[in-house]
Amino acid sequence: MRILTVFVFLMLSCIPNLHGQSLEVISPNGVISLTFTLDGGRPIYQVERFGNQVIKSSQLGLMLNNNIDFTQGFNILSVERNSIDEWWTQVWGEKKEIRNHCQELVVHLNKPDFPHQKMVLVFRVFNDGVGFRYLIPKQKSIKQFEIVNEVTEFVLPENHRAWWIPAYEGNRYEFLYRNTTVTEMPKVHTPVTFESSDGLFLSIHEAALVDYASMTLAPQSDYTLKADLVPWADGVLVKGQAPMKTPWRTVQIAENAGELITSYLTLNLNEPNRLEETGWIQPGKYVGIWWEMHLGVSTWGSGDTHGATTANTKRYLDFAGKYGFDGVLVEGWNLGWDGDWYQNRNDFSFTTPYADYDISALHRYAKDKGVRLIGHHETATGVLNYEKQLGSAYKYAKKHGMRAVKTGYVGHGQCVDHPNDQGDTVKEWHHGQFMVRHYQRTVEEAAKHQIMLDIHEPIKDTGLRRTWPNLMTREGARGQEYNAWGPNGGNPPDHTTILPFTRMLSGPFDFTPGIFDLLFDEAKPNNRVNTTLMKQLALYVVIYSPLQMAADLPVNYESRRDAFQFIIDVPADWADTQVLHARIGDYVTIVRKDRHAEDWYLGSVTDENGRLLNTSLHFLDRNRKYVAQIYRDGDRADWKTRPYDYVIEERLVDSATVLQIRLAPGGGQAIRFYPATDDEIMRLGFFE
């Protein structure tokens, strides 16, 4: 279906008193409404659902340098109303076909006292929420400018419960989520998720973040959240020139928490794919020389314990080829890791391997195995050093058969060095406009060389993977590595029951699941993975990434070959996603359909408490029997005392079946459903 667009221009000359009018736009299903008003020249919006306030009257506007005030003194110059209804296909993703269906209101504003000062507001209202953005059109009075304040507000009707991580802290996005009331929040990163007293769920975020500062939220009085943009070192928020469009500010609205996960509002607010040819963009699974460094078994730097050697890489390539993995990530292969690599970050070379890493021979060896090397570019926030090498680094990677590169920006607080206009070295945040520009530059340069990116220490996802589908996945939260060396013994059991409703609303997450040696008493005696083994399998469905790692050492998979089969089978690209159970911080059950087969996969995880979840299999095709390969916690399993107690079993099911999923404390369950043959129906049906 194509876009249906209806333009209605309301000119000030033909509609009197438009200055004080309210303009309403309603979602296609008639449930959500957004009202725009000029209140004494101040732009105001509010959002309702079934007539109940979701966002109370909230101010809009921008403050520019040179005393240009785009927060008041406006008249409405003209209005457009558009209806958008289209289906589009993701190159890869958690759902293949996505409907973009919304009503749009475009409001052109000018200032009678300064007739050459104009601003445009664009609102889109979907069945699952709203998005709005600012446009500063080309105009005589404004060419280059600086944004010194964005006054965008989100005024909540009550003191909602919220799940959040702090902004402006040293460790970027890598924190455990806290659950408090709004009034107890500091400045927070988005997406931030809320639950009202009557059970409505909201998530505030942004879409299409390009050449602008990342938005955080600053709590004010009366349950008001204000946009707080991450500044440059000189305090300026955004440096731009007209015409300019800001990112979309988004509010997702859902009756239950699971509907947040299956909302594609953020993607729909991004521009369509810009890449003409995408056959080289291929989701898949990989293993790598990575976890052994976090355990301290080997090192990134050269020497006797160097991990990235030719011999060690060949062992991983053998393993990947044997079990059908697409790639092998190799960290620590390039010059620059010796000594204090963070302080010496400008010494990294992305085209020079260590002497014990024969990259040309490994490229040939990988090709013979049907596997590709995955590059690794750790910058340690030596951004200018990396930018000087971008073209040559990606060309080098492609020459050696790599279609994916994992980048890294390890650093804390304001740590990105670069010269300002006066030539002095200043330090920037990871999430200000300077770094937003850098991350975008890497994605576009990588696309020129047909390279997919997996970004660690990234800017948050805002749906740009629709426009640049080589932007595959990223970190941007506390991942698996915290279980190896993190404080307090690693991630607590509820961590992965919160992520799908918070961080993962922004996009794919390279969490690196699949650790089978959960205790590692010798390597890291004060840490462990705080899950059962079956929960590690379930995470391959619960935590989505198109590049999905089997993170543990090959020997640990070989020792539990029966459980490893699920990781071998589970795909990384999906036709459909549904949420069957959802309670933030407690449990979640997600099913996904293989894009290239008729199989479905289920992942269910819980916090530190055991659960019994009755699970309807209504998503399966009717009039067809399926084999359910069930990987479940054993009857005595417990993440603290018996994490390796598990059962693998098969049974015959169909769309009318209701399974009772039993989750041990800290546990999980993973199931593969595939169409049953006649022989399997006879064999398994005998035991029904």
Burial 15-35 (b: 16+ CB within 10 A, else e): eeebeeeebebebbeebbbbb
Catalytically annotated residues: 481
Nearest 5°: phi and psi at 395? -65, -40
Using CA of residue 142, residue 143, residue 144, residue 150, what is the dihedral sign? Answer: positive
Burial class (CB in 10 A: 0-12, 13-18, 19+), 279: exposed
Is residue 250 a contact partner of residue 266, using CB atoms and an 8 Å limit?
yes
Beta-carbon-side half-sphere exposure of residue 347 (alpha carbons within 13 Å): 10
The token duo for 309 is: 């050697």
Q: Cis bond leading into 191, ω under 30°? A: yes
Give the integer Cα–Cα distance in Å for 226 and 213: 14
Is residue 467 a contact partner of residue 271, using CB atoms and an 8 Å limit?
yes
Q: Are strands 587-594 and 574-583 parallel, antiparallel or unpaired?
A: antiparallel
Chain centroid, CA 619 distance in Å: 25
Is residue 612 a contact partner of residue 604, using CB atoms and an 8 Å limit?
no
Give the integer Cα–Cα distance in Å for 241 and 143: 5
Give the integer Cα–Cα distance in Å for 132 and 75: 19
HEC states along 30-54? CCEEEEEEEECCEEEEEEEECCEEE
Q: Which residue has the tokens 């300002």?
A: 420
Residue among 185, 142, 195 nearest 164 (CA): 185
Is residue 67 a contact partner of residue 143, using CB atoms and an 8 Å limit?
no
Give the integer Cα–Cα distance in Å for 43 and 10: 17
Q: Cis bond leading into 243, ω under 30°? A: yes
Using CA of residue 649, residue 654, residue 659, residue 665, what is the dihedral sign? Answer: positive
Give the integer Cα–Cα distance in Å for 646 and 346: 48
Nearest 5°: phi and psi at 469? -70, -5
Give the integer Cα–Cα distance in Å for 461 and 463: 6
The token duo for 81 is: 């109303």
Give the integer Cα–Cα distance in Å for 305 and 296: 9
Cα-based distances in Å from 365 to 313, 319, 399: 10, 13, 14
Residue among 466, 476, 472, 474 nearest 450 (CA): 472
Burial class (CB in 10 A: 0-12, 13-18, 19+), 203: buried
Give the integer Cα–Cα distance in Å for 258 and 101: 20
Give the integer Cα–Cα distance in Å for 619 and 600: 9
For every residue of 283-329, DSSP letters joined together read: -EEEEEETHHHHTTSSBSSSSTTBS--HHHHHHHHHHHHHHT-SEEE
Residue among 28, 463, 103 nearest 265 (CA): 463
